[in-house]
Amino acid sequence: MFDLDPGFNEIAAAFDRDPRSVLNRVPGVFVLDKPRGLTSAGLLERIKRLAGRRAVRRLRRLGHAGTLDPLATGVLLVTAGRATRLFDRLAALEKEYRAVVELGVETDSYDAEGRITARHEGPLPSPEEVEAALARFTGRTMQVPPPFSAVKRSGRAAYELARKGEEVRLEPRPVEVRAIRDVRVEGTRVRFTVVCSRGFYVRSLAHDLGKALGCGGMLIELERSRVGPFSIEDAVEPRAVAEAIREAAGEEEG
């Protein structure tokens, strides 16, 4: 049986030596592939139901680091036991995303789930113009988060205000884009991979790219393919996480 409550310093030291040493174990970090249409909290609830409330209570802590929008898929880090206190370390890890942007359309949420606010009727920019515009977003810069985001304004999440129809003005924040690569322009769609720091919104990049090109743009697909050393290839099923929790709690399945 796994030790349910080792000293956090031991876990933190192991993580600092090699983050993958705590991969897919209890206490530790599990990589899940979040499906489209499900919230990050919803995926966590699915694990809790599979594991059983008693086993989760014995575990004491179960959380996730780095929320994904319902539209997005890919790497979601679920933390179990004392490893939940690794949140700041996990949140600081570099992120890699595969994105698809639709040019010629703007929405209030900067993605396909929002209300359309503008359509472009003229010709779209050339692939060369798109690549040149994307390249200008690399490096350290200031980015304005989307109005539909969890960023706090006056103590409340911006999306709560936006859903009520209130105008949301958020301050730019420092972010870093370390690479934009594998750019492909396919008609009205732009596919690319972006490697970025914590706090970066790919939805804002899609919106800002559309503004820079003068035609508008919205995010229509997003997959988080990597968080630090944890990749989509490391992903396990929610049932596997639940079984590990049950084993750590000394409970039989059924």
Q: pLDDT, tens digit, for every residue of 32-87?
A: 999 999 999 999 999 999 999 899 999 889 999 988 999 999 999 999 999 999 99
* Cut 0.85: pTM above it: yes
Which residues in 146-159 are b (16+ Cβ under 10 Å) and which e? bbbbebebeeeebb
Q: pLDDT at position 3, please?
A: 45
Q: pLDDT at position 8, please?
A: 87
Q: β-strands 105-107, 73-80: how paired?
A: unpaired
Residues noted as catalytic? 69
Residue 246: CB partners within 8 Å, gap ≥ 6? Answer: 51, 52, 55, 252, 253
Q: pLDDT at position 241, please?
A: 96
Residue % of the chain over a pLDDT of 70: 88
Contact between residue 8 and residue 50 where contact means Cβ atoms under 8 Å apart: no
Query: Across-strand partners of 79?
Result: 29, 63
Arithmetic mean of pLDDT over the chain: 91
- Give me the phi and psi of 80, to 5 degrees please: -125, 135
Residue 4, pLDDT > 60, answer: no
Taken in order of first residue, the domains within the chain and their CATH numbers are 8-93+230-248 (no CATH), 95-227 (3.30.2350.10)
- How far apart CA 109 and CA 28 sit, in angstroms, is 34
